[in-house]
Each structure stands twice: as C-alpha cells, then as structure tokens.
Amino acid sequence: MAPDGLKDSWRSVRSIGAVSGRHMLKKGPWTAAEDAILKEYVKKHGEGNWNAVQRNSGLMRCGKSCRLRWANHLRPNLKKGAFSSEEERIIGELHAMLGNKWARMAAQLPGRTDNEIKNYWNTRLKRRQRAGLSTYHQEQQQINSNSSTSLQALLSSSHPINVSYNNTPLSLFDMLKSSNPQPSSSSYLSNINNHLKFFCDNRDLSLSLVASNSPFSSSLTPLPFSNNSLPMSSLEYNALNFGPNNSSNQISTSIVTSIQDVEFPSIQQSVQTETTPSSSERGDNSDLLGLMDKLGEKPVSNFPTHENNYQGTKKKGCVEGVMNPVDDDIFSLLDNFPLAVQPVPDWYQGNGNILFDADADANVGTEYRPTESTANVDWNINGSCCWYTMPSAMLD
DNA sequence: AAATAATGCAACCGCAATACG
DNA sequence: CCGTATTGCGGTTGCATTATT
C-alpha cells in the first residue's frame, strides 16, 4: 500500500479529468473526505435513495457510486481481510451449487460482499486454470453431475417460509419457541432473513424445513443427518420432529405450509404434506392431494391445484399465474414426494438422535456416504441426497 | 536495479428488476 | 397502467502493489 499522501495525489490527478463540467460527477477512487460525507449522510438519512446524496450533501457522486461505496466499504459489520479457510470452503460449496451468483453467496457469508467473493473466486479460478486444474475438485463436480439441475436450483434457493396450521398462520419461530425455546435461536430467527430450505425426512415422509444459514451449524450442511454439522440446531431438530412420532409437537400429524416466497413472489403457495401414512396407504398414492383426500384432509382455501395453476394471494408487484423454473421445482418435488415408505437408514435412530460415524466426525469436512446397509434408500428421489453428499470445498 | 508480469482490489458499466409517481 | 427513477447484480476494467525475471 502506498502512503496516503501518494494515494491522494494520484486520486486528485484522476479526479481532475473526471470532474470537468459543472454537473459532472466524480469517478474513481473515493477519498476519506468523501467517505466521511457519505457516512454522515447515511447516519442522518439512512440507507437508500442514493441519488439524493448528491442533492443533499453536495457529494459529487452518482447514486450508484454511493450505494456501491456504502455496501462494499462503509457499512458496518463488514469483515475485512483475507477469507478464513472455513469461508473459502463455504464459497467453494456455494459456487458448486449456485455458479456465479455472487450476491446469493454473499448472503451466506456475513460481513462479506459479493464483490469480494467474486474477486476471490475469479482469482482462484485463474490460478487453478493456470495450474491445469478443474474449477472444482472431483467431489464438487459430483454434485453437479449426480443431482438434477432443477433440484439444485430448488435447494440453492433460499425460501423464507411461513407455516400455518389449520389456516392459522404459524411462524416457525413460534413453533420453535413453543417446543424448544432457545434464546440464541430466537434471535437468529427473528432477525436475519430466516432462509429456509426444504428437505425430506426419509423416515417420516414429511416435508421439513431447515435453515440454510443456521448459525448453529457449519455452512451449508445443516442437515440433521449430516455428519459435519454438529451440533444440530434446535431449528433443525424441530424440523426433524415434525414427524408423527413426536407427540410433544402440536403439529405432528400434518403440516400445512404456506409458502410466501419473497424471492419468487408470483404465487403464494400452500402445500400440505402428510406424515407417515398407515401401512394400507403406503405406496399407492401418487400425489399429495390424493393422499390428503384419502386421509380426509381438506386443503386450505388457497391450496394449490393444477387446475388453478397454484395461484394464490397475489402480492404486490406479482404476475399471477407465472411459474418460474424454481416454482416448478417445488411442485415437482412435492408431486414426486416419496409416499412409499423408505427403509430407515441405520444411521438414523428415529428419535431425533443421529448416529454419527466417529471417524467422520473427527475428520471435519469429510463427506457422508451412505453405507452398504443404506444403499437401498433411494438417494435420488427427494433431493436431500444432494445435501447428504455435499462435500466440503476443496481449496488448494 | 530495472523491467515486466502477475495479482489484488475497487470501481465502473450495462442490463434487468423493482419501486414510484 | 405506464413511464421514469432507483436499486441490485454480474461482468469487466484499470490502477497499485507485489513477485519474478
């Protein structure tokens, strides 16, 4: 780094060229003085309305430039400096799933910006290419080739979800509070984006919810069954307990999930999933609606059907009836929900306690592989397999 | 020691999505 | 409803610094 004096003189040289006319906005590197003005402005007026910065503070920068400067350098709680090895691992995993979705990746890495991640990745990519290496390590490539693209899209999209029971809206936060209060998880759920993802519980055949960015476990593999995500967060634990065998859970018989996806707001979907069907019902239902019908379950008023194209409450700015590919993924997943009972993997005790392989535990970042005895579990049908086999990022 | 190449980083640009009036 | 403004994203650029020749 050059001394500030040197830097500033260079900056001034550049700015002369950039600020030539009366209304010309400055470009190029920001000075400390400009930073101070912008900080003061945000302190006073809050974030947003960036074009007003120039009008109100006299800072000769366009709104875009202000926003960028704030987001990447001035906003509080930004981590600076090199990525930790854990962060690098997460980036690798995220990139394997998401591709160049820098902003999405940054959302999973508190204090890091999309720009940082992008720069890091591109640098790394170049290095690997120069060395004649592939973008990912072998195991990461396996994710891409073994799992369906659409399912990946589903799993990689973060879905804030509202859950209701008998048409009564119920937040996952409430459920968590009522069944397993934990202050730390409360603050987590009440304050960050509450990104949730689906996964299917093979044993209970229920649609469960799990936090994708739970601070209580590592990175992207917070599955209860995952051997490298100890300890399981309470949220995950409760997701697991949505099954029928947990009498303490007030919604143990069925879960009505109302999905209000801020990311895909074209529809408000309600999805009813059934927990373990009785033996006579096993295996002979082809879809969720059929199963519900059989069990006498009434869909909630806006329960999606193919007839109404899953239209529900229209949210502001939504286009009714438009299903994007991820919407399709959701319903494809649900339509193909494994209603036939799967064998219970022997590493799952069935009571929320998970059997972990001691060797694997000792070896952080290793990949879970179904053992011989679990080979008859259909690892491809419900998507969770993608997660079970999620490897750690392999960085140099 | 000087020249050159590689790397790191910040900021810009265009485009698309969203918000606003 | 429509045009405009704003915001957000990802690709790209270009300068400073560091490493290599």
Average pLDDT over residues A25-48: 89
Average pLDDT over residues A279-294: 30
Strand B interface, protein residues by Cβ within 7 Å: A 26-30, 64-65, 68-69, 72-73, 82, 115-116, 118-120, 123, 126-127, 130, 265, 316-317
Sequence-ordered alpha helix ranges (H) in chain A: 4-18, 32-45, 51-57, 63-69, 85-98, 102-107, 114-130, 138-146, 149-156, 172-179, 183-191, 234-240, 288-294, 325-335, 358-362, 384-388
**What average pLDDT is seen over chain A?**
45
Between β-strands A254-260 and A206-211, what pairing exists: parallel, antiparallel or unpaired? Answer: unpaired
pLDDT of residue A334: 34
Residue A106 in 3-state DSSP?
Answer: helix
pLDDT at A332 over 50: no
CA of A224 to C1' of B10 (A): 40
pLDDT: which is higher, A263 or A330 = A330
Please state whether strand C lies within 7 Å of residue A395 at its CB atom: no
pLDDT of residue A146: 32
- Angle at the Cα of A134 (from A130 to A135), degrees rounded to 5? 95
Rounded to whole angstroms, the Cα distance separating A250 from A350 reads 18
- Axis-axis angle for helices A85-98, A149-156 (nearest 10): 130
Rounded to whole angstroms, the Cα distance separating A106 from A125 reads 18
Q: What's CA A296's distance to the chain center, in Å?
A: 34
Residues 22-61/A with CB < 7 A to strand C: 48-52
pLDDT of residue A23: 55
Please give the single-letter amino acid code of residue A194: N
Closest residue by Cα to the C1' atom of nucleotide B10? A29
Q: Is A210 exposed, middle or buried (0-12, 13-18, 19+ CB in 10 A)?
A: buried
Which bases of strand B sit closer than 7 A to a protein CB? 7-14, 18-19
User: Which nucleotide is closest to the Cα of A102 by its C1'?
Assistant: C10
Rounded to whole angstroms, the Cα distance separating A102 from A119 reads 10
Please state whether strand C lies within 7 Å of residue A2 at its CB atom: yes
Q: Is A394 exposed, middle or buried (0-12, 13-18, 19+ CB in 10 A)?
A: middle
Cβ pair A72, A378 in contact under 8 A: no
Residue A330 banded pLDDT, cuts 50, 70, 90? very low
Cβ pair A281, A295 in contact under 8 A: yes
Rounded to whole angstroms, the Cα distance separating A90 from A196 reads 17
> Residue A168's beta-bridge partner residues?
A165
- Could you give all domains of chain A from N- to C-terminal order, each with its CATH number? 25-74 (1.10.10.60), 86-135 (1.10.10.60), 152-354 (no CATH)
CA of A178 to C1' of C15 (A): 57
Average pLDDT over residues A144-172: 33
Rounded to whole angstroms, the Cα distance separating A270 from A259 reads 6
Percent of chain A with pLDDT over 70: 27
**What are the contacts of A68-76 at 24+ separation with CB within 8 A?**
A69/A30, A69/A34, A69/A35, A69/A38, A70/A38, A70/A42, A71/A113, A72/A113, A72/A115, A72/A116, A73/A30, A73/A35, A74/A35, A74/A38, A74/A39, A74/A42, A75/A47
